[in-house]
Amino acid sequence: MRYHIPRPSRFFFPVFIRYRWTRKTLFFVPTLDLRDTECVGGHWRLVELKMGKSQDVQVSFDTVREKNLMQLKKLNLSIFPVTYQDKFYTDALSSGDFTKLAYYADLCVGSIACRLEKKEGGGGVRLYIMTLGVLAPYRRMGIGSKLLRKTLEQCEQQTESPIMEVYLHVQTNNDAAIEFYKKFNFEITEEIKNYYKHLEPPDCFVLSKTLVSPSKTKVPQ
């Protein structure tokens, strides 16, 4: 038996949602868990009960530009527990194709926002993942994995000013996010004490994926 998950309208995004199973229906209950505020690049983790395995769904992508920047802002307001300043969006726009929106059934349901940086010591360019998030009803469908995989594939295709490294920060107790990125061959390269001002624990790990060269980059299938 298949159960229909209601879709949010184009102008409203549910924020904190978990699934609860009953014999007759599947319904949503708002929830908030501060322990999960950094799950998968900084978003609230979805608590899911008896929902089964991830689905292989059809997802399309669109690069964030001025004309659709508001979509990214709406997603961030719905998914993340912080308000991002103008510099965040300036960096996101400057990254070009590395900041994307994900669409499922013609609805904007997720995004990845990145920042291009010069690697210290003149070692080329590196990519910083600022956020990676999916609206709660659409998690556990592989959309976050598709966003990250698409980004890594673009790193592989970058021939001019090749990307030498991709990295991000993850709260030290966020096992789910750490496990997620390790599946894509990210490694813990550093621990930073007191990185977060309003989270407990305040420490973070730096997760990094070194790309020897664009032609040798391997992206998990």
| Length in residues, the chain | 221
169 belongs to the catalytic site: yes
C-alpha closest to that of 164 among 219, 132, 127:
127
Q: What SS3 class is residue 202? A: coil
CA distances, 197 to each of 44, 76, 81, 200, 204 (Å) = 17, 19, 13, 9, 11
Q: State the Cα–Cα distance between residues 197 and 135, nearest whole angstrom.
A: 25
Catalytic residue among 128, 167, 195, 198: 128
Cβ contact 181:157 at 8 Å? no
Q: State the Cα–Cα distance between residues 115 and 128, nearest whole angstrom.
A: 5
Catalytic residue among 169, 195, 196, 198: 169
- DSSP E strands, the chain: 17-21, 26-30, 60-63, 100-104, 107-118, 125-134, 163-171, 187-192, 204-210
Q: State the Cα–Cα distance between residues 191 and 172, nearest whole angstrom.
A: 8
Cβ contact 31:46 at 8 Å? no
* Alpha helix segments (H runs only) across the chain: 39-42, 69-79, 86-94, 143-157, 175-182
Instruction: State the catalytic residues.
Output: 128, 169
